[in-house]
Amino acid sequence: MSKTVELINLFALLSLLAVGGGTAVLPQMKYDTVYLHHMISAAQFTEIYSLGQLAPGPNMMCVILIGYHVSGWLGALAVLFAFFLPNTLLCYFVSQIWDVAAGSPWRDAVQRGMAPIVIGLMLAGCYALGKTASYNPSRDWEFNALTLAIGVAVVVVLSLTRMNPALTILAGGVAGYFLLP
């Protein structure tokens, strides 16, 4: 039970800190669940996040798998509520009174000011995942060269074509299955 409470506290805070979308909390989520609370391993975190990218719907739905891993169905449900309820409640009430701020020049200032912070957090998220998924010192150079190449190939393909990102992730899985040593 105390583990479930820990989950609720952790994900409810992340819920309210999810500025500019769910991926902004990725670095903190990995640090907290892996290194601070030892709920899952770094490899599991990365794999769970990656699996989540194959599913439709809201980004970061993968969080419920962390909850399930820690304390079963109760944990999954607890994380679902903790991660999605605080920010949606906030949104429900603030959006009702939003018109008060309509036309305020400060809205633009908030958006332009927060943008680089969100990008910094997303880059930190790339780094947190990449440390495990793209360049992992515990693997040999051949393996790392291939995982790095897969990541770069995905960036190039998505920049040049309109391919669905979920398909590039599936393609990465196929490439891993056949190519990785």
Partner 1 sequence: MSEAALSERVTLGQIFWVFARIGATSFGGGVVAYLQHSLVEKEKWLTADEFMGDLEIAQTLPGLNSTNMSVIVGRKLRGPLGAVAALLGMILPGAAIVMALGFAYVRFRHNPNIALALAGVAAAAVGVLLHVTLKIGWKNLIRLKDLIFVALVFVLVGIFHISLLVTIVSLAPLAIWMNRPVTADRGRHE
Subset of residues 133 to 172 that bind partner 1, contact rule: CB under 8 A: 133-134, 143, 146-148, 150-155, 158-159, 164-172
Residue 5 or 43: the one with the smaller Cβ distance to partner 1 is: 43
Least Å distance, CB 5 to partner 1, is: 19
Is residue 7 involved in binding partner 1 (CB under 8 A)? no
CA terminus-to-terminus distance, the chain: 42
Residue 3 or 42: the one with the smaller Cβ distance to partner 1 is: 42
Record the tokens describing residue 129, joined without a space. 């995942």
Is residue 42 involved in binding partner 1 (CB under 8 A)? no
Nearest 5°: the CA angle 113, 119, 122 is 145
Calpha distance 3→19 (Å, rounded): 26
Residue 4 or 79: the one with the smaller Cβ distance to partner 1 is: 79
- Per CB under 8 A, which of residues 92..131 are in contact with partner 1? 92, 94-96, 98, 105-130
Q: Contacting partner 1 (CB under 8 A), which of 38, 57, 140, 161?
A: 57
Q: Where are the alpha helices (DSSP H) in 18-140?
A: 26-30, 42-52, 63-96, 105-133
Record the tokens describing residue 75, joined without a space. 């944990």
